[in-house]
Copies of this chain bind each other. A is one copy, B any other.
Amino acid sequence: MSLSIRNQLPGTVASVTPGEVMATVKIRLDGGQELTAAVTLEAVEDLGLTTGSAVRALIKSTEVSLATGPVNGVSIRNQLPGTVTDVTTGGAMARVKVDVAGGELTSAITKDAVGELGLATGSPVVALIKATEVSLSNA
């Protein structure tokens, strides 16, 4: 099955914290980073996720924000440092490719943001991804 979701990062479940409706799943990515996903408890049960499960973290490119450096004091759980490898701009939106440890990310942000942040090939960035925007699949 091919997916339109551009970002698919392999890793291993480090912990599962269940609530009544939602659950947070911590994943150790193959690139070494830690990632937090907030998914429904039902999904955790259906996928049989437990510590050690091999998974893929799936993140739509429109859910990947970029910062020019690490951000302190923010609720956004996931920050992946990397380097811009390509910028393609359209009339309203832009697509930015970012090399991170263990893979590549695609971010779809406004053209305005690209201009204001001065993003170009070689720019160091940190990709920011809210935990509620991370989906998981069995690897």
Is A24 close to B, CB under 8 A? Answer: yes
Chain B proximity mask over A48-59: 1 for CB below 8 Å, otherwise 0: 000000000010
The oligomer's copy count stands at 3
Would you give the 0/1 interface string for A4-45, flagging 1 where the beta carbon is closer than 8 Å to chain B? 111000000000011111111000000000001111111110
Q: Which of A87-108 contact B (CB under 8 A)?
A: 88-95, 106-108
A interface residues with partner B (beta carbon < 8 Å): 1-6, 17-24, 36-44, 46-47, 58, 60-63, 65-77, 88-95, 106-114, 116-117, 128, 130-133, 135-138
Q: Which residues of B contact A66 (CB under 8 A)?
A: 3-4, 74-75
| SS of A interface (majority) | mixed
24 residue pairs bridging A and B, Cβ less than 8 Å apart:
A2-B67, A2-B117, A3-B43, A3-B58, A3-B67, A3-B71, A3-B137, A4-B107, A4-B113, A5-B58, A6-B40, A6-B42, A20-B91, A21-B23, A22-B91, A23-B91, A39-B75, A40-B131, A40-B132, A60-B62, A60-B133, A62-B130, A93-B93, A95-B111
